[in-house]
Chain A
């Protein structure tokens, strides 16, 4: 039982990690707590569902279309809505993401208001047994993908030239700007990547949560909890935070009471922020 709880905890935790990763990228680019990340999540799932069902594209093409669309949406949002508010106080940026969340929900509700549709998993197939532990192919795919993304990010930020530039731009924007780095463009690209990450997480979890306009909200809080646990603004922190949160939830549900599953995220946020605000891997930044 324990092994099963931990393994499926990691599987769910990987999705939380993906969400938290996307939110951290957005946070590092425009230091904004993104209340509409849940909606990127939902749009990503819809952007696969619609072409898959109505236009009959292959799953692969739908996937590419969805990630590309969300990349564009992320950039458009940054360019059109966030940049003009750049000099505004943080609270206005947070408010803009709230407005966006309503907008995306309103629009998708207009077309898919009523029914809740199932998105076929990327990898269907019956469960695979590892001794006593059992996993669905979809779970393994999620873990594999998240591992891939994490390695890609690690290599990009640590090893490549552009990675260091992006890192500099997000750490000290003004300094980077003065030394000739096109910070606005980087910020724009990071929004695109963040939104696409959200879409990917949405597509991976959609077979479980099913696709409907409000699917994002529930995951938003998990993303916050993972970011907080791992350390606000720290990329590795987001991944570790997500996975630890997933395992916590399953253990709490399995051993204590299944009613606790829901509030594990909230307890994590409160305890971590009051005791160790920089989280597990975050560095001692001014707390907000």
Chain B
């Protein structure tokens, strides 16, 4: 890698970092809330992409992991009175366990069957939230105590920095994972499972690891969601949430980190822009999806990677 290219890349990261750090100064509370929502969905899309993009498994368990993370964090704060960083840790662990749990049966079931069984798992979790009101406060949902940072309540700007930090950590960790033998194993399994096995990749174990890591990241995103809204209710984690994640990943680009982030930003921002045209959101949403499916099969991430080779994501570290 020529020095100038490395220098340019470093500069780009630095500029981006400074811009993001100063951003809260120029926006009001509402726009800040929308940006915080974007950060949450970036993390969720990133986690989802690991299973559906890199590993290539048609698993629709994302809304379930998102819900498990949100409930884990919310209940940790409401029931166990944990501080929000600990609650986020709990949501990540819960998500990871759920991911591993879903990963096991995913070995036996493939393709459409996996899609439907994971959708059913999501709806089952939603039913559990409604009917286990002893633990989960039931159908109405609940509001965990507002997060505090050394006593002072965390306002939107405070949340922004927390979310940004968590997202950065998530992206970095996932980046390290994907640019290693583990990430290559995921993509190899997607490409050709027998060939992967013949190269020494323990296919079953890698799949469960992929699901667990995806669960962990999406669970963490669920935890952030609990902080973002301060309100957790069962209906949020139903089929609609799942289809939203699916659309973000498809528009962003399967198997593309950058794509997941772009997809999340676009699909969280669009409804806000359509605020004064109620009812149009769905139609715009579907036309956007169709355009991507016809003209950009590899989504935004794929499009950019084709145009600018330097941005292409490699599965190794130079």
Contact = CB atoms under 8 A, between A and B. Distances in A.
A266 B124 contact: yes
A221 B242 CA distance: 14
A81 B105 contact: no
B177 interface: no
B254 interface: yes
B17 interface: no
Interface string A217-229: 1000100110010
A176 B261 CA distance: 44
A109 B121 CA distance: 29
A105 interface: yes
Contacts, number: 127
A96 B286 CA distance: 9
A283 B218 CA distance: 36
A158 interface: no
B110 to A, nearest CB: 4
A90 B112 contact: yes
A274 B110 CA distance: 11
A286 B110 CA distance: 8
Given A94-B115, A102-B283, A287-B110, A221 B123 contact: yes
Chain A interface, DSSP helix/strand/loop, else mixed:
helix
A256 interface: no
B299 to A, nearest CB: 10
B116 interface: yes
A232 interface: yes
A269 B286 contact: no
B73 interface: no
A35 B119 CA distance: 12
Contact of B117 (A102, A107, A270): A270
Nearest to A35: B243
Given A107-B283, A221-B123, A273 B109 contact: yes
Nearest to A95: B250
Nearest to B251: A95
Contacts of B285: 99, 102, 106
B164 interface: no
A35 B58 CA distance: 14
A29 B290 CA distance: 21
B116 A228 contact: yes
B290 A94 contact: no
A151 interface: no
A270 B286 CA distance: 30
B162 interface: no
B112 A98 contact: no
A91 B298 CA distance: 12
Contacts of B239: 217, 221
Contacts of A224: 116, 119-120
A273 B297 contact: no
A267 B124 contact: yes
Nearest to B128: A263
B302 to A, nearest CB: 12
Interface size class of A (residues with CB under 8 A): 35 or more
A113 interface: yes
A84 interface: yes
Contact of B282 (A96, A103, A286): A103
A109 B290 contact: no
A270 B293 contact: no
Contacts of B113: 228, 232, 273, 277, 287-288
B112 A274 contact: no
B205 to A, nearest CB: 20
Interface in A254-288: 259, 262-263, 265-267, 269-270, 273-274, 277, 286-288
A130 interface: no
A91 B58 CA distance: 7
A103 B112 contact: no
A259 B139 CA distance: 12
B150 interface: no
13 contacts: A81-B290, A92-B250, A95-B250, A102-B283, A263-B123, A263-B127, A266-B124, A269-B117, A270-B120, A277-B113, A287-B110, A288-B109, A288-B114
Nearest 3 A-B pairs (CB), nearest first?
A288-B111, A106-B282, A99-B289
Interface of A: 27, 31, 33, 35, 81, 84-85, 88, 90-92, 94-96, 98-103, 105-107, 109-110, 113, 217, 221, 224-225, 228, 232, 259, 262-263, 265-267, 269-270, 273-274, 277, 286-288
Given A224-B116, A286-B110, 18 more contacts: A85-B293, A85-B294, A90-B111, A92-B293, A95-B247, A100-B286, A102-B283, A109-B279, A221-B119, A262-B127, A266-B120, A267-B120, A270-B120, A273-B117, A277-B113, A286-B111, A288-B110, A288-B112
